[in-house]
Structure formats: C-alpha cells, structure tokens
Amino acid sequence: MPEDVRFGYDVCVSAPETGLLARIPAQPHPVLPSEGPLAPIGTVLSNFAWTWIPECRRAVRAIDPDAVDRGESPIRLLMDPGRVARLAEDAGFLRLAAEAEEALRRYLQAPAGPPEVLSADEPVAYFCAEYGLHESFAQYCGGLGILAGDHLREASDMGLPLVGVGVFYRLGFFRQELEPDGRQQHVYPRFDPVEHPLRRVLDPCSGKPLVVCVPFPGREVAAAVWRVAVGRTPLLLLDTDLPENRPSDRPITAQLYMLGRRMRFYQECVLGIGGARALAALGIEPAVYHMNEGHSALLLVERIAQRMAAGAPWEEATGAVRKEAVLTIHTPVPAGNERFDAKLVTELLGPTLDAAGIDPRLLLRLARDSANDRRVFDMTAFALRLCKAANGVSLLHGKTADSTWRPVTGKPVGAVTNGVHPPTWLGDEMRRLYEEHGYPVGSPSRPQLTDRLDRRPAWEGLQDLDPRALWEAHLARKRELAAFVNERLIRQHTKYGWSPEELEEVGSLLDPEAFLVGFARRFTPYKRPSLLWSDPRRLRRLLEQADRPVQILFAGKAHPADADGQRMVAEVYRVSRERRWRGRVFFLEEYDMAVARCLVQGVDLWINNPIRPLEASGTSGMKAAINGVPNASVLDGWWDEGYEGDNGWAVGEREAPSSPRKRDRHHAEALYEALEAASGLFWDRSEDGVPVGWVRVMKRAIATSAWAFSTRRMLEDYAQAMYRRAN
C-alpha cells in the first residue's frame, strides 16, 4: 500500500465513546481522517452503527453508491486519493457527512433504556465464533453470525452493558461463485484490517498493543486483540497472524470453520481461552459469560484454571463457574454440536490443565456425550454441565433441546425465541411508516404495546394504516429488489462469456409487478430447497399464468463440507437455467447480508420447507414479516409460535407422516396449496389496483412480529431469564 494513501493526513479519529467502549484503549485507525473536511465521515466509518442509522447509511452510500451497493468496504474506498480529493470539495457530500456525524453522536450519547439488571462494571461477555456486521466484512457463515450481530446491535440500542468476543478471520468465510453447471466454488478474499473499522487494543498497563498467549504443547501462541465498535457495544476479535508466531501457527485464525478437526480445536482454544484472557488483561470482570453455541465452551476451562490458580479446589472452582455461565443452543442437527477426540483435547489443553493443577479425567467426565463415550469430548455437553442456565432459540426448539440434552447432562434447557434487529432489516419506506405510527425503531425506549395474543404483544396501531400507503411502501422495495437482482444477474453471467445481448436479456427478467416468492438460506438436506419440484406440472401451471405472473428467487450457500447441500445448490441452479423455467426461477449466487436485505424487504411471500423439528428458529422469516412479507412455512422453529392463521400460511400440519417419502409428498402438496392461495389473494385487486385482502395479511404479519420477534423483546427475555439468573 503506498505510504501517501495510508497516512496522507492526520488520522487520529476520536469518535465519541461511552461505557465499555471508552474503557478499552485502542490505537487510532491508520486511515480514517480526524481533521479537515472529511473528519465527519471518518468518525462515522469508525463505528458499525453507520449500517443501521439512516443518516449514516445515506452519507456512506454517497461515497460511491455503486461500490457500496456491491458490498465494497467504504474505508477502502476512502484510500483512493482521487476520490478523497473529490469528496473533500463536494458540498452536498460534506453536508450529508456532517448530518451523519451528528446523528451518530446523538445515538452514542442517548440514555440507556430498560432493563437495568447489569452494570458496566459487571457486564455480559458474549462469546460467538462468527459475527455478521456487514457484507463488506464477511466474518459470518450464516444465521448464527447474523443473530450474533443483531444481538450486539440491540445491546447497543438498549444501552445494555455487553462486550462481544470472537475471532478475526483474515480469510473470512468463502465467497460463493457458481460454475455454469451449478458447481459451487469457494473463493476466500483476504481482509486487511486497515480497510475495516478495526483498531488494535492496547494493554492498559504498558500502553503497548495487547497480546494474549494461549499455551499449547511446547509453545505459546500469541494473539492480537482488535476492537470493533458496534454502536455502543465493543467487540473484541482475536488474531494469531502475528510475526512472533511460528509460520504454522499464524493461520490458526485465518478462516472461519476450518475443516480439519485438529485445526478447528486450535481455533476454539484461541476463541475460548484467548478470549477469557483478553477480558482479564483489560480488567473486565463479567457477571455473565454467554456462550452463543458450544464453539466457545473452552472459556470455561480458562475460568476454572484462573480460579484454581488462585487457590480454589476443583469443586469450588467449577461451582463458581456454574454461577456465571449461560449457554444458547442453536441447532438440533448433530453437525452443529462440536465433538472432538478426547485424546486431542487432553493433548492440546495439557499445558493449561497442568499449570492450574486440573486433573484431565475430571474435565473429560464433564464432556461425555449421550453414549457416555470416554473417547469423545462433546462441547455442548461440557458447556451444559458447567452453566447456570441454557436455552434453545424458539419454544419448539427449547422443548426439542430439552428432550435431547436433559437425559444426558441433567440440565434443563429452556427457550428464548430469537429476534431480529428492525433498524438493520427494515426497508427505508417501511421504517418511515413504523415511525409515523408510533413505533420508535432503534430507540432505547420501549414501544407502547397493546393486547397480547397468545403471550405475544401485537402492535394494533398498524391496523389503521392506509392500505395504499403500505402497498406503495412495499412496491418501492420491490422496484429496488428488481434493480438489484437484475444487476446481480448481469454480473453473475458475465463470467460465463455471455454476449451483451444475452446479458441485457437476463438483466431484465425479474418483473417488479410479478408475485415474487423468496427462498434464501443455507442449503442443506433438512431445509429441502428442491421440495418445490416435487410436482413440476403443478408448479408450471402456477408460474405460467400470463395475466398473473409468479417468479421465484433462490439464494443460498452450502457449507464446504456439505456435499449433499452443494448438490442441492447445483440442482436448483441448473433448474433456473433450463429454458422452461427461464424468467420464472432465479438463483442469486453469493447469499450475503446485502442479498438478504433486498430479498426480505422486496419479495411478496417468504417460504421455508424444513423437516420439523430440525429448524431451530429461522430468523429470515422474521425479517420478512417485519417488512410486511407474509410467510408460508412448515410449522417449525419460530413459525410454530408465530403463525396465527391470518398472518401467513402454514405448510402442512404439526404432525406429518413418519415416512420420509410420505412426509415430503404431504408437505409438497401443502406448499402448492399455500402458493396457489397466496397468489390468488395477491392478484385480487380493488378498483385502484390495491390488493386489499393481501394488504390485510401484510398488516397482520407486521403486527404479530414487529415486537414479538424483535431483538428488543429477545434481549429483555435474556436479561430477565438468563443474565439475571446467572448472578
């Protein structure tokens, strides 16, 4: 990188910081300006709150609308001297940047809202292997990371004292590129910390960059600690790519979810042990350690070791740890619950255990799986036996997890249903409608609630919303979606060598006037993305009505280790390219946060076909619902409690045939019926062109989800049921 680009002006950003952020010293960012005309945009870009504060989003997009829309890092865009010079003289841009900086300052200095169950002196430490903060910073695989990002964003909105702990993956998670036959290719772009709002954390005692060491046989591995500002919430990310480490140790944190089991365990040692040591080095003493899935369970080993090193015996140390730890389980699927060879665990944890005088046999006993196999170290079982409270992520999943794990560990598993962060996922037009009708999106204050339906608050004020106003707001999002998808399709097919005429055609196929159906999520067998093709003739009858066009949009990645999921990606992609489905079925490659936002805001109907009860929650449907997009889904995960008869469609009954073939046939038939009913209602228009019956369902979708499936409700539940109990 040229020296004049990186350090071409004064770069000591001093964004307003309060609470925990202010207590974690960090180096200035080496690129963002703090003086001169671009200082305001430097302040804005130093904090990921720009991704959900409207004034900040507008200013950041104005840097280069096309590049930002493509998911490029806005900080990297500011490393272009020519662009910097142009922006510094653009009065319109400077006005937007000043407004954005003021909006950010107001946000950061706003008073905290309820509940007041924790303090900055004893915060929550939230550990997760991945975080979805923005598409330009792909440190996430899927729903777990997006939920973790929403958790941090909502904690910031509420002023809840919470610090996130994770890993900085310089190769992130893969970018999906599809071959013409649908084969998924895995491309790993490299993330340079200077191109993102990462700042090296400083040791509070020495003032030098903080390094924590994780012991392994024959050596210690050093990890740098980076600080990311997520609104008022700090996120600490550990990074082993340091010159003081052996070349073979530097890649430990390179890539999210390493495939090799030995390397994966190294990575989880850095997350758990290194993360706990980073907090201790900073003088942060959490009241609660929240493990978001079992990947971070090794933090419990470090917490036990810290107490035993201070003189506590084993029973006292483990008892104390149980009072401060809580666990969230996110999946009933075995692949989502980490298991390692017990010999590998005792080998790599040996130095940590020896230093604290921990008997490895006692540790292994806590990690026995359901078969009581001495050769297995089950991370979920280990975390459950050492936590005060545990939860699944929907009411149904809580019951499923309890029936799975209580017989193994003796620990009951409750439920805190997931939620989504409305300021991040609401379309601009929909957000304005919310606020015009008294729903303070993103405000620390709690909205005024009315009647409760089956224990879930409903926002009745929306029922008085003018149907045309709601419909026009949705149409604006549909037009944005069509433009986004058509541009993506051109880029997607350019690499195949298509001619300008072919690209022009593919870039005009999505029709914003059509009935748009969305299916976007990780591709894996239990989610059944190909269920729609169970009866091709019936599907064609639905899609080929010239006067009532229906189009279906697919997006999703399969994990690199999931061969079945990758075959499903290829199958759906090939179908989308067949002549008979051309212009009716689309597949968007690289399902990221940008694609997700456009889809949940702009399609008309959101579908989901999981095998019950394998969908733990399914937050994409919540994001659609808060945007007035009804769901048609199997009654699994969140939809099992969210469906109320008039806010969407249930695909099948709660009890399905036990035979997989009969079950799939039953759900396919029910899915076709739901699509036909939804399409008929959508195309039933009033004289002024408004689908009044459809808009009524849209209203109910919002009213039954805007609060009940928000992160505000979710964090209030955690604060009352999990964080308070852990004290």
With 0-12 CB in 10 A as exposed, 13-18 as middle and 19+ as buried, what is 190?
Answer: exposed
Identify the DSSP state of 724. T
Per the omega criterion (within 30 degrees of 0), is the bond before 115 cis? Answer: yes
Q: What is the mean pLDDT of residues 220-240?
A: 98
Q: What tokens were used for 126?
A: 């939230």
Residue 442 has pLDDT above 80, yes or no: no
Residue 668 has pLDDT above 70, yes or no: yes
- Beta strands 124-127 and 162-167: pairing type? parallel
Identify the DSSP state of 526. G
Assign 392 to helix, strand or coil: strand
Nearest to 123 by CA among 330, 282, 328: 282
Q: What is the mean pLDDT of residues 241-250?
A: 98
Assign 62 to helix, strand or coil: helix
pLDDT of residue 112: 73
Q: Lowest-pLDDT range, 144-153, 443-452, 500-509, 645-654?
A: 443-452
Residue 719, amino acid:
A
pLDDT of residue 451: 35
- Cα of 537 vs its chain's centroid, Å: 37
Nearest to 186 by CA among 589, 620, 587: 589
What is the distance between the alpha carbons of residues 621 and 607, in angstroms, rounded to a whole number? 8
Q: What is the mean pLDDT of residues 321-334?
A: 89
Q: Which residues, listed in sequence order, are joined to residue 517 by a DSSP beta bridge? A: 552, 605
Instruction: Note the maximum CA span of the chain.
Output: 79
What is the distance between the alpha carbons of residues 234 and 152, in angstroms, rounded to a whole number? 8
Q: What is the DSSP string of 274-335?
A: IHHHHHHHTT---SEEEEESGGGTTHHHHHHHHHHHTT--HHHHHHHHHTTEEEE---SSGG
Q: Which residues, listed in sequence order, are joined to residue 631 by a DSSP beta bridge? A: 606, 648
pLDDT of residue 30: 95
What is the distance between the alpha carbons of residues 719 and 363, in angstroms, rounded to a whole number? 30
What are the residue ranges spanned by the domains of the chain?
A: 3-108, 124-419+716-723, 424-440+464-708
Contact predicate 550/515, CB 8 Å: yes
Identify the band that residue 2 occupies on the pLDDT scale cut at 50, 70 and 90. very low
pLDDT of residue 470: 95
Q: Which residues, listed in sequence order, are joined to residue 81 by a DSSP beta bridge? A: none
- The two counts, helices (H) then strands (E), for the chain are 29, 24
Return the CA Rg of the chain: 25
Residue 682: phi and psi, rounded to 5, are: -60, -40
At 158-216, the pLDDT tens digits run: 999 999 999 999 999 999 999 999 999 999 999 999 999 999 999 999 999 999 999 99
Superfamily (CATH H level) for 424-440+464-708: Glycogen Phosphorylase B; (3.40.50.2000)
At 585-638, the pLDDT tens digits run: 999 999 999 999 999 999 999 999 999 999 999 999 999 999 999 999 999 999
With 0-12 CB in 10 A as exposed, 13-18 as middle and 19+ as buried, what is 266?
Answer: buried
With 0-12 CB in 10 A as exposed, 13-18 as middle and 19+ as buried, what is 509?
Answer: middle
Distance between first and last Cα of the chain: 49
Q: What tokens were used for 468?
A: 């045309």
Q: What is the CATH number of domain 124-419+716-723?
A: 3.40.50.2000
Distances, alpha carbon 593 to alpha carbons 191, 411, 656, in Å: 17, 35, 33
pLDDT of residue 434: 87
pLDDT of residue 15: 56
- What sign for the dihedral angle of Cα 536, 541, 545, 551? negative
Nearest to 614 by CA among 637, 632, 639: 637
pLDDT of residue 110: 86
Nearest to 281 by CA among 357, 206, 358: 206
Residue 345 has pLDDT above 50, yes or no: yes
What is the distance between the alpha carbons of residues 77 and 136, in angstroms, rounded to a whole number? 12
On the question of a common fold for 124-419+716-723 and 424-440+464-708, the answer reads yes
Nearest to 557 by CA among 521, 531, 525: 521
Nearest to 605 by CA among 486, 476, 519: 519
- Continuous segment of H or E residues that includes residue 631: strand 631-633
Residue 130: phi and psi, rounded to 5, are: -150, 155
Q: What is the DSSP string of 429-462?
A: HHHHHHHHTT--TT-SSPPP---EETTEE--GGG
Q: To the nearest whole number, what is the mean pLDDT of the chain?
A: 92
Contact predicate 618/635, CB 8 Å: no
At 257-284, the pLDDT tens digits run: 998 999 999 999 999 999 999 999 999 9
Q: What tokens were used for 233?
A: 């919430």
- The neighbour count for residue 581, using CB atoms within 10 Å, is 18
Q: What is the mean pLDDT of residues 522-547?
A: 93
What is the distance between the alpha carbons of residues 502 and 79, in angstroms, rounded to a whole number? 36
Q: What is the DSSP string of 198-261?
A: EEEBBPTTT-SBPEEEEEETTEEEEEEEEEEEETTEEEEEEE---TTS-TTTGGGGSBTT-SSH
Contact predicate 308/314, CB 8 Å: yes
Q: What tokens were used for 547?
A: 């006067």
Looking at the chain, the whole-number percentage of residues with pLDDT higher than 70 is 93
